Structure formats: C-alpha cells, structure tokens
Structure 1
Amino acid sequence: MAEAAQAKYRVGGMDCASCAAKIDTAVRRIAGVEDVSVSVTSGTMTIRHDGTSDLKAIEKKVTGLGYSVVPMHGKTPNHDHTLHAHGHDHAGHHHDHSDHEHAHPEREAAELHGHDHGSLSGSWWQSKKGRLTILSGMALVAAYVVGHLMPGIAPYAFIAATLIGLAPIARRAVMAALAGTPFSIEMLMTIAATGAIIIHAAEEAAAVVFLFLVGELLEGIAAGKARASIQSLTALVPKSALLDEAGETREVPAESLAVGSIILVRPGDRISADGVIVSGESAIDEAPVTGESVPVRKAADDAVFAGTVNGDAALRIRVTAAAADNTIARVVKLVEEAQESKAPTERFIDRFSRYYTPGVVVVAALVAILPPLLAGGAWDEWVYKGLAILLIGCPCALVISTPAAIAASLSAGARRGLLMKGGAVLETLGKVTAVALDKTGTLTEGKPRVTDIVPFERTEAQVLSRAAVLERSSSHPLALAILERAKNDKVPVPPAFEVEAVPGKGMTGRVGGEELALLSPAAARLTGALTAEQDEQIAALNEQGKTVSVLLINGKVAGLIAMRDEPREDARTGLRALTDAGVRTLMLTGDNERTARAIGEQLGIDVRAELMPEDKQRIVGELKREGFLVAKVGDGINDAPALAAADVGIAMGGGTDVALETADAAVLHGRVGDVAAMIALSRRTMRNIFENITIALGLKVVFLVTTIVGITGLWPAILADTGATVLVTINALRLLQPVR
C-alpha cells in the first residue's frame, strides 16, 4: 500500500464558496486523492493522497478552471489552531504558519476567473479582471459606433464584442463541467449569451456579457473589503526591531526575533512583538488593536503585545512569542480558519443551491419550449424569455448571502477582541438564552484589592504604611494588594528590621522602635488585643466576603485592613446588557458561599457557590435540559469541563491556555460587557443574513414574473442578478461598521 502523503498549494483567484466547491469537486475526481481541504480566506489547498497521484495533473486541472497554483514547500502538519490570549508565553507552541504570508503576487489568477469575490491587488483597472472588463466595454462601444456608421455589419460587430468577454467565461464553464460542476454561473452565462446570438439578439448578448463582468468586478471589490479589514491588522506590526544584546542594540527584522530575545522600544515606537516588560515604565497606547481610547500604564513584568504603541519612556521587553505566533498573527489566523467553519445557515444555502440551479435550468427550458409547442407561441419570443430566466436564476447572490455576512462579522468581532472559532459558533451565540459566568477572573479582577482601612488611634496612612513595611518582601496576593494600595496612596514605607513570617498567623517586624505584627483575626484573638467592638467590625467585613488582616503596634490593635477580589469595572453594566437582551445570568464559582453571595448581591446575579469543576459541568447540563441554550464564560482550568459542555464556551482573555483551547470563542480584552456585545453581533449578523436572502430571492421572484409576462428582458435580468449580488455584499459589509 502506498504511503499517505500531503501536498499544499497556494491558489490565486479563488475568493468565494463556489470557487472552492469547483476546485474541491475537480481534485477529488483525480485518482489517488484521499481528501481535499480548500481554504478560501487563506487562499490555500491541502491535498492528502496515497502517493500515486499525479500532482502535475492536479495543478493542471486547477489551472484549467482559471486559478493560479503555486506549491507551498515545507511541512504541513495538522494543527489544532486554538484561541490564545495575549500575554502568555507561547514558546512551547510550534506552529507552521506558512499560511500567514498575506501578500502574494501569485494570489491573482493567471487569467481572469469569472466569479471572483476577493480583493483586487492594486487598482482595479490594473487587475486582469479589470482589464477584461474595460476591453469588453470598449468593444461594446466600438460595436455601437460601427453599427451606427455601417448598419449592415452591426450584428457581426456585436457578436465580436460578445465573444471578447464571453470566450474566457465559456472556456472555464466547459472546464468546470468536465471537472464535475456542470451548473456553474459561467455555464449559465455562456448558454444565455450564446442563445441570444442564435435568436439574433447579439446587441443584448454583448451588453449582458459586459454587465456581467462589471457586476463581478464590483462584487470582487466590495467583498474584498471584508478580508482586507482583518488582513490590515498585520500592517500594525513593525517590520524591524531593536535587538538588545550585551548592552548593544542593532536593528533586525521583526520576524527574526526569537523567544527570549530582549528588544528596546523607544518612546513613540510601535512594539514589534508580544512580550513582557523587563525594565521601564510607560503608557501603552492599545487603541490601534483594541480600540481602547485611554493608554494603559505598564511596568516591569506586565505583558505587552505586538502592534501597540509605546508612549513616554523607553522599554526593554523580553519576547514571549515568535512573529508567526504573536497576538495579531493569531487573530488573523483564527478569523481565516473561522471563516472556513460553515454556519448551519450557510450549509443549508449550499445544499439549496445544489438543487436550485439545475431547477432553474429546467424551468428556463420549459418556458422556452412549451409555449411554442403547446400554444403556438413564437419561438424567438419564448426562447428569449427562457434565456432571461436562466440569467435571473443565477444563484450567485444567494450563495454569497451567508458567507459574506459571516466573514464581515468575524472580522468586525476580531477587531474588537471578540474571537469566534467559526460561523456555527457565531450563529449559535445569537440564540443563547442563559449565560453562566465564573466569578474569579471573569466577573472579578482575579486578584484582591484593599477595600477598607479601619484605623484605631492611628491615621489610615500610618496603618497602611506599617502594614506595607511588613509585606514588602512577600509575594502573597494579599501582600501585593497592600503594597499596591500603599503605592497608589503614595504613603512612605520605611525600612524594617527583623521581619519574619509566622506560619499560619502573619508577619512580624520592627521599624523605628515600634514592634509590628500583621496577623489574621484568629491569631490576633490569641494575643488578647482585640476588643469585642473590633471583633464585631471584623465579623461585619467578613460578612461582605472580605478577608481581614489586623495590624498590631507594640501589642495594641492599630487598625484593620480588609481586602476582596472586587468586580471588574464593567461587570454590572455587562450583566445588565445581557439581562436587557433577554438572557438569564448565573454565577458559578468554587469560592465560599459568603464571598460569592456578597459579590452576587453587588452585581445583581444569581449565585451557585462552593462548586467543583464537575458541579459546574452538571449545572450547565441541567440548564440545557430545562430548555436553555447555554453559554459558559470562564478563565480557569476548573472551567474547562463546563466550557466544553455548554452550547457555546467563551474564554476570558488572560485566562489559562486550557480554558482558551476548550472554548468556542474568547473575549480577548476580558470585559464582561463584551459577552453581551458578542451575542448582539451574532443577532445583528443573522438579521443581515435574512435581509440578504430576502434581497436575493425577492429580486429574482419580481423579475421572474415580469420576464414571463414580457415586461423585462435580458438586460434587466442580468442587472437583477449582478445588482442583487452587489447589494447583498454591500449589505454584509455594513457589519464591519462599529455599533455605537
């Protein structure tokens, strides 16, 4: 048995679902081919074969359909391209990102492909499609001039004008038919134009071919914007970087940076790689990538990502991801792959078109033949109407109605940090009726903050200062919360002596002749220093879900410091947006009942606390059995089972890789409100798809009736088809506009 092999090609001129279908159908028919994967958005074709296939024959077959084919050398392993939040070190992820080369001259077809929905490189008139359209238009004008000057040869002039535009379309129609796709739009166009010439309507045939080319050109320009919008993100990453080696800097290509390299980023420069700040503190402008209007202050150990702009100070940054795996590259790759994941609606449209197009051919033939045969109608008149129906029935607008909207929506979402793994996920999100959210790191910031300072015979600043003295060398989350508050309040933190950790109790030390102790309430009670009133205050703070530390100075209680993992700034408004959208919200957390209830009351959300991972998964299952379509939002390893069990799993940016890999979608910027925004985007997309299908079918029905009764003919028919296609595409592109 021959050894299984794989070949990968970059395909130029392939820019719509029907293009991919033609190539797929043709290549599968070649001996030895086991599987074909055609990616429209990345412009690639991957073939798995048994080693006996004639690869040159495959290339020739695809070229014959009107596309350019260039072999891509190197390994093409199967990757599970998963969601990753920026800020993680991906040194261990080895990806083949040959698909990330987004600017390839070979992507333009070797010759015009008659049904190209993609972006045109350069100006439209410089493309082969543009040049053929101009040539066809000039031939049409010349035919009119010749016909006016010499009426006797006018029919021949229009036939010549028709053939100039029709010849490449007809050639590809024949090639597609031989490759297994007989009912292509090129075939319908060829039959209609040829029939018009036969019934002495050469003038209309020439005009129809020209209008067809114009419509396709406009459609290609419009639809290309959806791809260009996300591809433009790659331009945000600088091409070069300043590599810092042994105290010396030199300029190197950004794509050559290895994980672990140190780069210098000067004020005003764009950051060239994902990384972690080693030294320096500066405001980072993330607006080019995230849309955030306010620069984010970042210092040592903070994560930064490629494409953002350094503000007011030089930074030394350790690279944590290679160029092919930085945040922007992953977003682009994710959207490309997501566009290949068909939504249920899109699969339905594909199946519908498979039967619809042959049905149109049969109806057109019956309209052309039956009236003359059965009712004595004029052959010319009814053949003309049959040809018009053939043009009206072209499924172009119908086929592109869903993928155009989904591509635009996925791109728009990615630019806002809303990443979805495919059209099916996007479609399902709009139907969500319940959202279960984790608490820590999802509804809350994931780290404690000082919420209350209760002084006794000392000022708040003194209590905070003395506590910070003891916690200065600790990395405990509660210690970090106290140190952060001290830094923000700009309180002095004098040097301490004899600082010691007392296991299970707290910290002790000495500063300026004062004996200090920062203890847990239980440890403080053992000293006998707490009064009944102070104990009541601690109990009240505990009831609010807060952790309390007691500061003792010279054996006396000087103050209480309360800390809690606080809700994210937008948590309340984000939950309200979900409720307003008719979605039930529920908090699922492993935290203790008291803390969870306190946060739940603050946010106005139902709470289920003290849950193990399997409990969260079970509750998601219960909601589904109750008839809810459930989305689960989380960021931790303990959320992974529930994320997988939900109808849609949504990972919070900054969460664990396990959660991100398990999820169907990710909120890259970690905002609760973005979950509601994701659902709103899905619903807006489904409305847009419904509008597109209505436009596509509505125009066809109108012109079908008017053609049969003799009001409209070939010209309006082709205008209806290409017009509907352009309208559908432009309507889909409205999804790229942000909703205010």
Structure 2
Amino acid sequence: MNSDKVVQSSCCASNQESGGHGCTGGDIHRSTQEREKEEKVSTCCHEELPKSSSCCSVKDGNNNLLDGKEDKKGGVEYNIHGMDCPSCAATLEKSLRKMKGIQSVQVHYGTGKMVVGAGDPTIYNQVPKQVQKLGFEAEFIHSPKMETYKIEGMDCGSCVMTIEKHLGRNPKVHEVRVNFSTGKMHVDHTTSEKEIVKEVQRAGFEAALDSFEYQKNEASSKKKREGASTTQVSGIFLALGFAGSFSNVPMEFLTAFYAVAMVIGGFKPAKSAFYAVKSGSLDMNVLMVSAAIGAALIGEWLEGATVVWLFALGNTLQNKSIARTRESIRSLMNLTPPEATIKSGNHLIRKAVEEVTVGDVIIVKPGEKIPLDGEVLTGTSSINQAPITGESLPVDKQQGDIVYAGTVNESGSLEIKVTKLVKDTTIAKIIHLVEEAQEKKAPTQAFIDRFARVYTPIVFGLALSVMVIPPLFGSGTWGEWFYKGLALLVVACPCALVISTPVAIVSAIGNAAKNGVLIKGGTFLEKAGVIQAVAFDKTGTLTEGQPKVSEVIPLNNNREELISIARTIEAYSTHPIAQAITTYAEERKISGKEGNAFKAIAGKGAQANIDGMDYFAGNPKLFKEMNVSLNEIEERMDSLQRNGNTLVLVGTPTEVIGVIGVADTIRDMTVESIQTLKKVGMSEMVMLTGDNEGTAKKIAGETGVDRYFAELLPEDKVTAIKKLQQEGKHVAMVGDGINDAPALATADLGIAMGGAGTDTAMETADIVLMADNLEKLPHTIRLSRKAMNIIKQNVWFSLITKLAALVLIFPGFLTLWMAVLSDTGAALLVILNSMRLLRQK
C-alpha cells in the first residue's frame, strides 16, 4: 500500500477516537458533515496540498519549480515502477549513490517509493533517466507541470522507446513517459507545446495536446484513413506483380510493381525506423525495414513486398483494435449532455455545460440526462445511476439529495443547484482516475518490458551471427544464411509479448469502470486475482449503517424521562447511534432537558450536566469503570446483545436508570454478494466490528460470513488483518474508505465502498465500488481472475509462437512472409484475446 494511504490512516484514526461514540468503538459511519470536516483535517495536517506549486516543492538554482514533492527529511520523493523483489531496491540505492551530487538514497520496496537527497536541486530531474537505465521507471510524486499528449502512429510497444529516447535527448525535456496501450505521452518540459509536437514528428509520429473534453481530432482521423489507403495501394501493386508472374509479363515490370508496393507500404515504417536508429533503439520498424531491404538486395522482391504489405496490414488492424480499447473509457464522456437548461428568474436559458458555474440552478425534465453534479432543490424522481455506480435499479431522489452528471432522470422534473464545474464532476474524476490507472504498469508488465529490452538486442546480434558465421566456415551459401538471418530479424521483435499485458489491463480496468468499479492500476488488478480472504467492516458495509432504536427499558418505570435525558446527552453528537436516539425522541415528540457541560468520552460514550447532576450515556464498559453495579440488568443486557442490539446505558455516576437497544439492518445485496463470492472461490469471509460479541454473532449468522472479530477499535482491525495475513492468506479489506483507512492500508488490497459519495474513498483505496453496496464485488474478483488468465494465455502464446518460428528458420521451413505473419498475427491475436475483457458481463 502506498505511504500516503498510511498517512491518511493515522489522521482518520485519531479523528475517530476523539469524536467517536463509545458504543461501537467508531465502527459506524459518521455524518456527511463530519466526513467533510475530517477530509479537510487529514489533508491539512499532513501537508497534502493540491496539485499545484506548494510550500514543499523544490526549486533549482534559477528558482524554477521542480516536479517533486520534498520529503520532510530534505529529499525528493519518487514512485518507482518495475521492482519485483527487494534486491531491486538495493540495486537502485547502490547505483544512484554513485551519481555525482547525490547525498542520500532510500528505496522502500514495500511502498514502491524512493527518497533522494541532493546538494544541487537540479540533480533531481536527472534521477528518472538514471533509474530508467537500470531497467525501472521513476516518477515524481505530484507532477504539476506534466502535460499529456495523444500520440498517433505507434505500431507496437517498441515505438515507445523510440519516442522516449528521442525526446530524452532534448535538454529542455526533464521527463517523458509514453504509454502504448493508452496512446498517451506525459512530458515535463520548459519549452513550448509546438516544439514538443515537432520533436514527436521528428521521431516519426504525430502528437496533439490532450484536452479535457477528449474530442476527436479531425486531422487525426484523416491520417488514419490515409494510412488505410496506403496499405490498400501497396496491396494492389503487390497483387498486380503476383498476378503478372503467371503470364508473360517481363521480369523488369514485375520487379517494378514489387518495388512500388515496397516504397508505398514501407514509407512510414522506414521513416519510423530512421528515427529509431537515430535514437539508439531497435524497434519493429528497424527490423522489418532491414528485412525488406535485405530481401531486395538478394533479389527476393516478391518476399520483400509481401513482408512490407503484411506488416502494414497487421499494423492497420492492430491500430483499429487498440483504438477501440483506448476509446472504451472516453465513451463515458458522451454520457453527459453538452448543454444545460439554466433557470434565470422566470426565464429558462440553454448554456454550454462549460459556461455553467457553481450555484446556478438547472432544470432537468423526465427522460433527460443530468448535465452536472448538484443538489436537488425541488422535485422528486427516480434516477438511473448505472453510468456512475453500476447499480441495476434506479434510485429515488428528493430535496437535499445529491445527483451526478451523466445519470438519467427517469420520472419527475427536478430543479438542481450545481455543486461542481464540468471538469470536477464525479464522472470526469472517474475518467481521469481510470486513465491514470491504465498507465500504471503491473509487476508482470514491468518484468516483460525489462525482458524485452534484453531479448531484442540479443536476437539482433544472433541474426547478424547467422548471416556471417556459417558461410565463413563453409556451411552453406552466403545467400542462404543471409535469408535465414533476415527471417530471424523479423522474428526478433517481441511485439506480441510486450503488448500481452498492457492491453489486457486497459480492457479490464475499462470494463470495471463502466460497471461502477474503479481499479487504481494493474498492480491492484493482479492482486485482486489472487485474493483468498475478504474482511468486511460491519457497519455501513454489510449493514445499512443507519441504526434505529429497537428497545427502551426504563428501570424507574418512567420511559419518557429516560428518553428525554438520553436525548439531552446526545443532542450535540453527530454519531449515528446518537442520531438514532434523537430521531426516536423526535418521532414521539419527547423534548430534551436543559443541559450544559457536554462532553464526548472517546471510545465509551458521552456526558452532560442536567439540573446540576452529571448524567452519562454509553456502553457497559463506561459504567463498569465508574464502579456502577450492573448485576440487576445483566440478564436483560445479555438477551438484547444476543438479539443483535448495541447497548446504550443511561445513568449517573452511582446508578443506571435505563437501557436503550439500538440495532442496524443488513443491506439487501449483502447475503447474495457473499454467497456469490464463495461461489467464485473465496476461501474465507470475515467480519470486523466494534459491536459486542452477541451482535457480531447474530449478524455473522444472518449474512453468511465464516468468521468474525468483535469489540474492535480501529487499531484492533489492523491487528485482525495482520492475523489473517499471518495465516498465509492474501487479504482484501472492504470498508468505507474513511473510518477503516488503517485496515485498508494494512490489507493486501483495500476496497472502499460508496466512492460516488466521497472523494476521500476514491483517493484512499486500491479499488473503489462506486455504489454503496457489495453488488459489484464478485464481478470485480471474476474480472481480475479472468484478466490474469488472459495475460498468462497471451504470454505463453507469444513465447511459443516466437520459439516455433525460431526453430523453423534453420531447417529452411520459415519464409520471410511467414515470419512477418507469425509476428503481426500473434500481436493481433493477443490484442483480440485481451479485448474479450471489454465484453465480460
């Protein structure tokens, strides 16, 4: 788990202990106001400032702001991708300490972070390049200056290296990261956007600054059409030459047809190959162009033209397939209407959503999509929230309820006060988080990338050896071995292998997002696939989190007096149990008394002074510590607890005057979801709660969990998670993302529920269930496991295809065009296999 999760955890835990009601040890949800207050505290007290220049940013000698977030110990903090064992951390530390100007290096394998201290602040921008040379990736934590560009024309994963190396040589570019699967480039620079676009063009590709609206670029789609027509024209000339070989057409004409086919179809690969060589990388374009030129040199014009055309065709098909995957999430943006109806006095005005400001009142009629996030002012309706939360049934909304952009108003007309600008809506945040997640490399992908960096130059060297060594020793002709070397060149690029993992991850994360689940990256997708046990927070996760008074037992036969005193003590508390008692009193029109000296007793209850006497409302532990005898009510207390009630005792420092039982209700989807999780192979379902043993046992029996831990404080939940891990299980923790932050951070996988209602949940957990129920959790586990199976299929298929091609080269069975077909065909099949994850129900 990342360290900022742990930071947040401690803050949340301390808040909880200071303000929590004693009856559940902070197990039950807080109110919305309390949550918002806590979110502000947690970001403030830990200096987690917005993504802009901040007091903890680092400046160089010219007072230019660097990207990195300065660690409190005086260094700059980086995220490290690609470490698959603790020895990788040691390698990084040893290597970076040798860099001139570096004073200290600390690499934390568990959190994937590195802190570097340097005397000269300009050193910090050189660190990512040095880390990349070691086979890993480093990115500054918090990168306010990063710009994102859409890249067109990348045919395979090795094109990434060409762009990164080319831009990396520009002194004004501090950091560049290109992601093949999403088609995006993130670059930190001190030059202009125009210059960056030109640099990418010089490397043989097209770039455009990625705007928030994700609108499709007409020039880009025109280039795609041109690319397709180039392949078609090349194919026509190849077909003419091939057809002519069966007639009396002179060889010179046939060679001309093949040469034209090679020039037209190979122009773009040749251009890309030129810049790849210039950048010092060996990508598929270099290998393919080398093979085509070599075929022409030995007179195999048909072979050369076929190689070029098959390569161009394969790239066209791959680009179309990968474009579908890349656009799968962006299609969510089409769910929001471009305009909104604004109420201005007695008039209705249509405005573009970009022009609507916070506080404006919008009108949404039945059947219309809600254009922006907001709060319902008037009207009642059923809202289809499936685009945000994945919920299958509409949700009733009325005055005071929150509604989200992109959801559908199914029945009544609504007046909604806008609470967020178009760029800050929940759906915009989902798209941003998902695209960020799709670019985070999973451990499998990082390993394959490092393998490919070593594999390609080795096979390239082997191809040159095959061309030269056997003929030198008189084993066959130069032409024969030169041809075999060319075939080996074509086979050399591990295209299918490199894209075997990222395309599957992008597809799975895209599918999950459309179903109301945010998976924060490939690492967490992989972890979800190996989870064996799931621990659930009880209140608000398995249950509704809205307790109600179920029993009132006065010991002095004055029921109203007991409720009045309890209401007075709980009047200033926002804890759900306190609110349950207050609501119960309001419904029965029982008013409170005059009180003062109100005080919360952390983990135990609350107190107030009424008519000159101190009164307490809290759990049995509170009264036991005050040495108040509970013998007379012991039996009643046990009976209430066995029936699933949480107890609130009301009394003075010398006696108990009554007992109030408060009970929670199980969510509708809980039992069904737990049974489905068992069917998909979860070995153990565990419930964690601050409630008493009796309540825990009753809820566990009703929900179908296998095991429970009762009477837990927030820190005890962490201990329970560690106990499960010590038993050898991979554990996922499901909570609300705020109260359960310490346990979420400790578990192998943190899953937050109800992400649509709180930004903190979306930022804290590894996986977020946007709906406030467990309905989508089994789908998430199934999807993760299928993704892992598909990744394994892709990797093995790629390796076996490559191995078979290599074996067939030497007996002479593998021709050049067959080598191309095996490579591009394998890559295409890997992409199509990964795309099955987009359709997973």
TM-score range for the pair, normalised by the shorter chain length:
0.7 to 0.9
Asked if the contact 2:709/2:720 (under 8 Å) is kept, the reply is: no
Shift in alpha-carbon separation, 1:309–1:610, aligned structure 2, 3 A: same
5+ residue gaps, structure 2: 1-60, 66-144, 554-572, 596-605, 608-616, 621-632, 650-658
Aligned to 1:63: 201
Deviation at 1:145, TM superposition (A): 5.1
User: Structure 2: which amino acid aligns with 1:4?
Assistant: N
Amino acid aligned to 1:574: S
Shift of 1:482: 10
Name which of 794, 800, 823 aligns with 1:692: 794
Structure 1 position 634 matched with structure 2 position 735:
yes
State how far apart, in whole Å, the 1-side matches of 2:450 and 2:634 are: 71
Shift of the alpha carbon at 1:235? 0.6
Which letter maps to 2:274? Answer: V
Please tell me whether residue 132 in structure 1 is matched to residue 244 in structure 2. no
Aligned with 2:263 (options 158, 163, 169): 163
1:28 to 168, 188, 193: 168
Match of 1:48, SS state, is strand
2:361 corresponds to: 262
Q: 1:274-289 to 2 correspondence within 5 Å?
A: 274-289=373-388
The one of 591, 594, 597 equivalent to 2:691 is 591
Counterpart in the other structure of 2:158: 18
Query: Contact 2:200 / 2:206 at 8 angstroms: preserved in 1?
Result: yes
1:350 is displaced (CA, Å) by 0.4
Question: Displacement, 1:336?
Answer: 0.7
- Give the deviation of 1:321 after TM superposition: 2.1
Is 1:203 aligned to 2:341, yes or no? no
SS, match of residue 600 in structure 1: helix
Match of 1:128, as an amino acid?
A: E
* Mapped partners of 2:538, 2:457: distance in 1: 55
Change (3 A) 1:571 1:377: same
What secondary structure is seen at the aligned counterpart in 2 of 1:638?
coil
Q: Please give the residue correspondences for 1:306-455 in structure 2 after superposition, counting only pairs within 5 Å.
A: 306-448=405-547
1:177 aligns with 2:280: no
CA-to-aligned-CA distance 1:342-387 (integer Å, 9 cap, x gap): 0000001101111111122122223333332324312222222221
* 1:77 equivalent in structure 2: none
Show the counterpart of 1:468.
Answer: none
**In 2, Cα distance between equivalents of 1:612 and 1:478:** 16
Which among 731, 740, 745 is matched to residue 644 of structure 1?
745
**How big is the shift at 1:7?**
6.6
- Indicate yes or no: 2:105 matched with 1:105: no
Aligned partner of residue 432 in structure 1, secondary structure: coil
Bigger RCO (CA 8 Å, 6+ sep): 2
Q: Distance in 1 between matches of 2:618 and 2:591?
A: 16
1:235 to 324, 334, 356: 334
Q: Which is further off, 593-602 or 357-366?
A: 593-602
CA distance in structure 1 between the aligned counterparts of 2:742 and 2:388, rounded to whole angstroms: 31
Distance 1:676 1:174 in 2: 49
Mapping of residues 325-724 of structure 1, within 5 Å: 325-448=424-547, 540-546=639-645, 564-580=663-679, 581-603=681-703, 604-654=705-755, 656-724=758-826
Structure 2 CA distance for aligned equivalents of residues 662 and 18 of structure 1 = 34
Cα separation, 2, equivalents of 1:160 and 1:679: 52
CA deviations on 1:305-354 (whole Å, 9 max, x unpaired) are 11111112101112222211222212211111011110000001101111
Please give the alpha-carbon distance, in whole angstroms, between the structure 1 residues aligned to 2:292 and 2:714.
65
Aligned to 1:297: 396
Cα pair 1:280 1:316 within 8 Å, conserved: yes
Q: Is the 8 A contact 2:783 2:840 kept in 1?
A: no
Structure 1: stretches of 5+ with no match in the other structure: 73-97, 109-120, 455-473, 486-492, 506-518, 523-533, 551-559
Q: Which moved more, 1:166-175 or 1:18-27?
A: 18-27
Q: CA deviation at 1:280?
A: 1.0
User: Structure 1 residues 656 and 41 mapped into 2: Cα distance closer, same or farther (>3 Å)?
Assistant: same
Q: 1:695 to 1:60 in 2, by over 3 A?
A: same
Which residue is 1:142 aligned to?
Answer: 240
Q: Identity of paired residues, percent?
A: 40
Deviation at 1:538, TM superposition (A): 8.4
- Distance in 2 (CA, whole Å) between partners of 1:653 and 1:390 is 52
The letter for the 2-side match of 1:102 is Y
Q: Distance in 2 between matches of 1:257 and 1:184?
A: 48
Does the aligned pair in 1 maintain the 2:183–2:326 contact within 8 Å?
A: no
* Residue in 2 that maps onto 1:464: none
Q: Which moved further from structure 2: 366-375 or 314-323?
A: 366-375
Deviation, 1:483, is 12
CA distance in 2, matches of 1:731, 1:18: 20
Counterpart of 1:100 in 2: which secondary structure? Answer: coil
- Work out which of the residue numbers 64, 84, 88 in structure 2 matches 1:4: 64
Distance in 2 (alpha carbons) for counterparts of 1:497 and 1:219? 70
1:194 aligns with 2:273: no
Distance 2:694 2:250 in 1: 93
Aligned to 1:447, what secondary structure does the other structure show? coil
TM-score, with length taken from structure 1: 0.78
Partner SS state of residue 567, structure 1: coil
Contact 1:587 1:608 in 2 (8 A): yes
Report the alpha carbon displacement of residue 480 of structure 1 after superposing the two structures with TM. 8.2
1:305–1:57 Cα change, 3 Å: closer
> Structure 1 residues 421-430 or 362-371, which shifts more?
362-371
| Partner in structure 2 of residue 725 of structure 1 | 827
Contact 1:11 1:67 in 2 (8 A): no
Which TM-score applies when normalising by structure 2? 0.70
Contact persistence 2:641–2:692 (CA under 8 A): no
- C-alpha deviation, 1:422, in angstroms: 0.8
- In 1, the alpha carbon distance for the partners of 2:452 and 2:329 equals 29
- Does the 8 Å CA contact 1:64/1:172 hold for their aligned counterparts? no
SS in 1 for 2:771: coil
CA contact (8 A) 1:652 1:666 kept: yes
| Mapped contact 1:268–1:311 kept (Cα < 8 A) | yes
Q: SS of 2:740's equivalent?
A: helix
Moved more, 336-345 or 17-26: 17-26
| Structure 1 residues 426-463: Cα deviation after superposition (integer angstroms, max 9, x where no partner) | 11121222322211111111112577999xxxxxxxxx
Q: CA offsets, 1:131-187, max 9 Å, x none?
A: 221121122233335554532312232122212212321121111111231x11000
Change (3 A) 1:45 1:715: closer
Contact 1:575–1:673 (8 Å) recurs in 2? no
Q: Which amino acid aligns with 1:217?
A: T
1: CA distance between counterparts of 2:778 and 2:695? 25
**Alignment size in residue pairs:** 644
Contact preservation (8 Å) 1:11, 1:107: no
Paired residue secondary structure (1:200): coil
Instruction: State how far apart, in whole Å, the 2-side matches of 1:260 and 1:66 are.
Output: 48
Contact 1:404/1:729 (CA < 8 Å) preserved in 2? yes
